Amino acid sequence: MQGPEPYLNDFHIQLPCAVDSTAMAILDSAHRAFVNHEVYYFSSESTRQQFEARPFEFTGKVTDPVSLSRFQPIDSSPSRTAAGRLFYFESGATVVAFDRDPAVYSTPKPTMQPEK
């Protein structure tokens, strides 16, 4: 899957690092991570490693791929890895549905529910 880096770079978009907001992120695939259907960029390999060790501390709200509800993951949130990305779930019921057919939920839906 191609990331958005070519477009971001073509338009000279700059983003803060997902771990250290005082630093600018490097917009390439080596400094990127996907969690659920969101993308996060990092200013260095060490900030990427820090993110990957405990992503829920840095993601903010994510969209459950089954229910499409936005929620804040925590350390005990159910999670799975599929299609090269980490997925967090708001409940055990949604992770059970995901486990039945991960391919159905691994691709972003055209619309997400508005934040509550």
Residue whose tokens read 């055990």 = 92
Q: Is residue 27 part of a domain?
A: yes
Q: Is residue 116 part of a domain?
A: no
State whether 46 and 86 are in the same domain. no
State whether 32 and 71 are in the same domain. no
Residue 107 dihedral angles phi and psi, to the nearest 5°: -100, 130
- CB distance 98 to 65 below 8 Å: yes
Per-residue pLDDT tens digits for 59-111: 999 999 999 999 999 999 999 999 889 999 999 999 999 999 999 998 876 65
**Residues pairing with 35 in the sheet:** 38, 86
State whether 90 and 72 are in the same domain. yes
First and final C-alpha spacing in the chain: 30
Predicted confidence at residue 113, as pLDDT, reads: 53
In this prediction the pTM is 0.87
Question: What is the domain count for the chain?
Answer: 2
Predicted confidence at residue 40, as pLDDT, reads: 97
Helix (H) or strand (E) holding 79: strand 79-82
Q: Is residue 114 part of a domain?
A: no
Domain span at residue 85 reads: 62-105
- What is the residue-averaged pLDDT of the chain? 92
State whether 50 and 66 are in the same domain. no
